Structure 1
Amino acid sequence: MVRMADHERRRTEIAAAAVDIARQEGLGRVTIAAVAARSGVSVGLVQHYFPGKDLLVHRAYAELLASMERRVAAIVDVGERREESIRTMCTTALTSFLPVPENRRDCLARAEFQVLAARSEALAAVAREDDRALRARLRGVVANARLCGEVAPEADEVAVADELWAAVLGASAVMLVDPTYPGEAVLAEATRRAFPRPCRRHEETPAD
């Protein structure tokens, strides 16, 4: 008997193929036939797991967002092991959402999915959940920065987090059509304003 985990793994593999096509060729090239060919399986098997293209696109969108979130988690993990300041980790993590050369295909695919989401409530729900989770994570980052002394005790963590996320979205949108826009510098300035103080963990301990 085929285990449920195997079915889920096959769905994930098929969705990953759809994401790969969206990254490499554009969302318009994501078809059942193209995904089957990229996955190395039959059209019938793709349709077995995703009876309609809308279901495949929905899962592919979720997989793309999850992959971007895993990249952020990896960046934070490295930063914590290096004992970087929260500002540094936050700047690096948020830069992964900008269409710099190494991330451009992911960001372009994400933008294409978001255009579809504006006309599809099912996709919009995926987008909203991801956006809310990211902003909640940013609020947690600001709260931690308060404990480390990088933000003032009276700082409004919701406002700071929302301003940072707005800066990321704005810079990313401009950079997609104008790669010369200094989005990284704009974001670095936004994080400098968000975390204006040095981290207490990195202050030198006075000699006895």
Structure 2
Amino acid sequence: MARTADHDLRRREIAGAVRRLVATAGLDEATVANVAREAGFSVGLVQHYFRSKDELLLFAYRQVTAAIHDRVAARIADGVTRRRTISAVLFDSLLELLPLDDERRGEYRVARAFRGRALDDDTLAEVARAGAADLGDQLSTAVHNGKECGEVEPDLDPALAAVRIAALVDGLAEQLYLDPNRGVGDRTLRTTAEDLVRECLDHVFTGECRQYRRG
């Protein structure tokens, strides 16, 4: 049991080195030699835990998507504990997907780099598709639950609303990464980002929650 835990820990440490390299220097710098140096391990040790570079990159990509998922799940759990409305919980959760600080900018660069590589790699593409499907399912479920509690109109299609929200967040995340200080009226894109997400959700969650007060 201890041996398995140590094995998993080493793999996570190596994957962490991949993420740091990609976040600062790009995916091409994530060679086995560079990853070993960043992790403080020998090349042989890295190759002991990962049979190929492709296996290493796949594991690292899955770790990135899992980290994002866990953080969003924590936001949701906190919102439920605090008895917040679905729209309020969803708002906080979606902000975790936007590169609004250094940590999330680095994370976005890593995820975006892997998504780019996924265009030519079916295995990475499957991880990307699974992540997108999971987000879509969570959004659709949130909208469906909103209908149940009165926050969403009964005739609204949850799947269509989920696509709309996901498209806004995905596009906004890319623009924020490329130029967060771009002028938007008398403000910057960074300072208007939260308002844009809120406006999008307000078009979906138009009613009042029958369980909790809105917000």
Partner of 2:204: 194
Q: CA deviation at 1:39?
A: 2.1
Q: Which runs of 5+ in 1 are unaligned?
A: none
Instruction: Report SS of the residue matched to 1:198.
Output: coil
Is the contact made by 1:91 and 1:188 (CA closer than 8 Å) also made in structure 2? yes
Question: 1:127 matched to which residue of 2?
Answer: 128
TM-score (norm: length of structure 2): 0.87
Aligned residues: 204
Instruction: Check 1:52–1:157 CA distance in 2 against 1; reply closer, same or farther (3 A cut).
Output: same
Partner of 2:28: 28
Structure 1's consecutive aligned runs of 4 or more residues displaced over 3 angstroms after TM superposition are 1-6
What is the CA-CA distance between 1:9 and the residue it aligns to? Answer: 3.0
TM superposition shift of 1:5: 4.1
Cα shift at 1:126:
0.7
Q: CA RMSD in A?
A: 1.9
Q: Does 1:183 align with 2:193?
A: yes
What's 2:168 paired with? 167
Worse-superposed segment, 167-176 or 4-13? 4-13
Verify the 8 A CA contact 2:85 2:213 in the aligned structure 1.
Answer: no
1:30-88 Cα distance to aligned partner (Å, 9 max, x none): 12122212322211010112122121111111111110111101111111111111111
Higher mean C-alpha deviation, range 102-111 or range 130-139: 102-111
> Is the contact made by 1:19 and 1:63 (CA closer than 8 Å) also made in structure 2?
no
158-167 vs 195-204, which moves further: 195-204
Distance 2:22 2:56 in 1: 12
Gaps of 5+ in 2: 182-188
SS at the partner of 2:120? coil
